[in-house]
């Protein structure tokens, strides 16, 4: 029996957009010891495939991390069947605040060494010794206290389009680099109040435990992350201290929390917070691009990628065997991110 998708992604995307029913996008995680991962992986895939669930699910000995969409007519069955597994009983869900139901187009369930890659040896620190969990009301109050430091535990491209006011925004590409960077940035604040936040809370679980292991005494984390915060401030009519978009790792690429646009198109500098992936399939670089530049650059990040997508398909396939992706990332690091004027000049040639 084949327990993975075998259909072309373009066909799957078309079928998703043709669906006549609504979907509910959600995420959940739990740090819990899991056994018999191969059998569990197959059971979850079969169960969710039967319910037409789409998304990405990672399981490891340390727990589960899931971002999925569930047809609304299968919601009750999904919850009931998931909760029959003792490790997942009553696991809390973070429901998307801005959802068109088109977040995922296939189901992936994979076994990983860790549900959040930290690059550290197992048992290096106690992952259960986490910080204090704060709801939206408590978080807002804590932000207003003196000598409070707020830290974004996400990658640079996430915080670029949205973040909490006054937060430290580490220029990191990975969670491992982020943890090392944050510890250095917070040196001297071991006795002060530290507030951590991320998308749905899972990265803060490890980050807060790591900071406590590193000697920080008053570590706090936003319970449920930005997703839960956005839902709670809407429900309670609270002030949003988060501005802009919450980046999400699915086809939507973002949920708008406030109307503020705090980032710029990486090609022309115009206010914009729409992430896209380069149309050059081998490049597929994630970057911010406005509608005008998308039309001018045919959805590509550089003139080199524009040239490639206009080659005959066989020539494109030949190029994909090389290191075009590495080249594109090099261009992004050296030109797109730090120097918008240079890129604009390049585009006008």
As beta bridge partners, residue 245 has 256
- Here the tokens at position 165 are 């006011």
Q: Which of 252, 310, 249, 322 is nearest to 280 (CA)?
A: 310
At residue 261, φ and ψ (nearest 5 deg) are -110, 105
Q: How far apart are CA 272 and CA 207, in angstroms?
A: 30
CA 138 to chain centre: 24
Find the radius of gyration of the CA atoms of the chain.
Answer: 21
Q: How far apart are CA 116 and CA 129, in angstroms?
A: 16
At residue 199, φ and ψ (nearest 5 deg) are -65, -55
* Annotated catalytic residue 272: no
- Here the tokens at position 64 are 């589960």
Q: Which of 198, 272, 283, 300 is catalytic?
A: 198
- Here the tokens at position 119 are 């690059």
Q: Which of 228, 226, 252, 236 is nearest to 167 (CA)?
A: 226
C-beta neighbour count of 39 within 10 angstroms:
9
HEC sequence for 34-66: CCCHHHHHHHHHHHHHHCCCEEEEEEECCEEEE
- The edge-to-edge listing of strands for the beta sheet with 162-164 is 162-164, 242-246, 255-256
Residues 77, 79, 84, 87, Cα dihedral to 10°: 160
- Here the tokens at position 2 are 């084949």
Active site residues: 198
């Amino acid at each position: 029996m084949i327990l993975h998708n075998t259909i072309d992604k373009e066909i799957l995307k078309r079928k998703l957009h043709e669906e006549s029913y609504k979907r509910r996008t959600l995420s959940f995680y739990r740090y819990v010891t899991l056994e018999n991962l191969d059998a569990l992986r197959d059971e979850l895939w079969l169960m969710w495939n039967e319910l037409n669930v789409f998304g990405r699910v990672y399981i490891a000995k340390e727990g589960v991390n899931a971002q999925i969409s569930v047809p609304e007519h299968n919601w009750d069955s999904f919850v009931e069947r998931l909760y029959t597994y003792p490790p997942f009983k009553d696991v809390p869900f973070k429901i998307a605040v801005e959802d068109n139901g088109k977040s995922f187009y296939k189901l992936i369930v994979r076994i990983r060494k860790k549900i959040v890659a930290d690059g550290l040896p197992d048992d290096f620190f106690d992952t259960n010794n986490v910080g204090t969990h704060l709801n939206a009301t408590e978080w807002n109050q804590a932000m207003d206290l003196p000598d409070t430091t707020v830290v974004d535990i996400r990658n640079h491209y996430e915080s670029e389009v949205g973040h909490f006011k006054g937060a430290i925004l580490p220029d990191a590409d990975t969670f491992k680099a982020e943890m090392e960077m944050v510890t250095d940035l917070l040196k001297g604040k071991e006795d002060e109040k530290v507030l951590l936040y991320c998308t749905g809370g899972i990265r803060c679980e490890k980050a807060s435990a790591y900071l406590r292991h590193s000697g920080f005494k008053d570590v706090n984390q936003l319970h449920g992350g930005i997703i839960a915060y956005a839902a709670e401030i809407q429900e309670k009519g609270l002030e949003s201290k988060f501005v802009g978009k919450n980046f999400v790792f699915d086809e939507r690429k973002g949920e708008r929390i406030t109307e503020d646009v705090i980032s710029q198109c990486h090609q022309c500098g115009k206010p914009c917070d729409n992430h896209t992936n380069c149309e050059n399939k081998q490049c597929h670089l994630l970057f911010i691009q406005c509608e005008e530049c998308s039309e001018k650059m045919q959805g590509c990040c550089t003139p080199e990628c524009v040239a490639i997508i206009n080659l005959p398909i066989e020539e494109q396939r030949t190029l994909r065997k090389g290191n075009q992706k590495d080249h594109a990332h090099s261009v992004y690091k050296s030109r797109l991110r730090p120097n918008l004027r240079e890129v604009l000049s390049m585009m006008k040639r």
